[in-house]
Amino acid sequence: MRQSAVVFIFSLIFIFFIGYLLFRFQDFWRGPDLAIFQPEEGLTLSSSHALVQGRSRAAASLLLNGRPIYTDENGNFEEELILAPGLNIIELEAKSRFGREFVEKRMVMVKLPE
């Protein structure tokens, strides 16, 4: 009876250990996650200023049109861009510490009033 209790306890410890390893390595196999809340795809702006807002998970670095930006402790970011008149492509690139990349692009149109 005593031996089966010891085996049961070690089995529980082993299961918790494996579960913890799987939880910690999920960033490795999933890679970074990126969501852009603003601006919406295909939006037409009447100003050359655009606010880019979103959230990133498991990203070691975050680039907005090739320029590094930073997130808060929850992974949220907010950055202002100055866009040219006409069609603009906003590109966000997230890289994980394991070298995985995720790129999100948005196309917006800027039509300035004449």
What is the Cα–Cα distance from 82 to 22, expressed in whole angstroms? 42
Residue 78 confidence (pLDDT): 94
The chain-wide mean pLDDT, for the chain, equals 87
What is the Cα–Cα distance from 51 to 82, expressed in whole angstroms? 9
Q: How many CB atoms lie within 10 A of CB 39?
A: 20
Residue 27 confidence (pLDDT): 63
Q: Percentage of the chain with pLDDT > 70?
A: 94
Pairing between strand 61-64 and 33-38? unpaired
Structure confidence at residue 97 as a pLDDT band (50, 70, 90):
confident
Q: What single-letter amino acid sits at 103?
A: V
**Residues 6 or more apart from 79 whose CB is under 8 A from it?**
51, 52, 64, 69
17, β-bridge pairs: none
